[in-house]
Chains A and B, each alone.
Chain A
Amino acid sequence: DIQMTQSPSSLSASVGDRVTITCRASQSISTYLNWYQQKPGIAPKLLIYAASSLQSGVPSRFSGSGSGTDFTLTISSLQPEDFATYYCQQSYSTPSFGQGTKVEIK
């Protein structure tokens, strides 16, 4: 099984901040990496697929990068609606998620 490790597990940030979340795979997964946003009580929402492709309708302040084992999700200027939990997911083999990163208001 491929293990996905996100860091940090949580962070506090202010509106307008640049936020970076890291996801590391236990083995190379090429670019088979997707990112989701989840708000409390709501189903997850796809943000980024194939490591760096922006899902239709997702604001351009979200971006993804990386390949192999190390990936990042960047929010260029944090907005009030971005406070949520973010998950990475590998789809190289049997899909699995990272443990999540909670972005909280500072």
Chain B
Amino acid sequence: EVQLVQSGAEVKKPGESLKISCKGSGYSFTSYWIGWVRQMPGKGLEWMGIIYPGDSDTRYSPSFQGQVTISADKSISTAYLQWSSLKASDTAMYYCARHGDPYYYYMDVWGKGTTVTVSS
């Protein structure tokens, strides 16, 4: 079964760092782009960026460039999303998703999401 398993919920204070993970299984992890999507409480979906684990080619939405870092460790089929200094406005659900096609960039497999709460 193709699946993405995300790390558990996090509660952090403003200014702290954080790295959440997304582990792929059931397919060739290095052959598909993996993306991250933010959903703030009660709001819509926002595409953050993607990484190609095969060569770590990474692309960001301009809205998130410089705010987060996307990385991957292909040896353990895991992608990451990290923050160096969290803000309250980073409170959201974060989904990872496989991009099933290199041209249409549709997201065909999703993780269950990781809730990040940033509060003093």
B25, CB-defined interface residue at 8 Å: no
B residues near A (Cβ < 8 Å) are 35, 37, 44-47, 59, 61-62, 95, 97, 100-101, 104-108, 110-113
Q: Which residue of A lies closest to B110 (CB)?
A: A43
A residues near B (Cβ < 8 Å) are 1, 32, 34, 36, 38, 43-46, 49-50, 55, 87, 89, 91, 94-100
Within the assembled complex, what's the spacing in Å between the Cα atoms of A57 and B80? 29
Expressed in whole angstroms, the minimum distance between the Cβ of B27 and any Cβ of chain A is: 14
Instruction: Pick the contact of B47: A32, A38, A43, A96 (CB < 8 A).
Output: A96
Q: Which residue of A lies closest to B105 (CB)?
A: A91
Within the assembled complex, what's the spacing in Å between the Cα atoms of A18 and B85? 48
For the A-B complex with A36-B45, A89-B47 known, give 11 more contacts whose Cβ atoms are closer than 8 Å: A1-B62, A34-B104, A43-B112, A46-B106, A46-B108, A87-B44, A87-B45, A89-B106, A95-B35, A95-B61, A97-B46
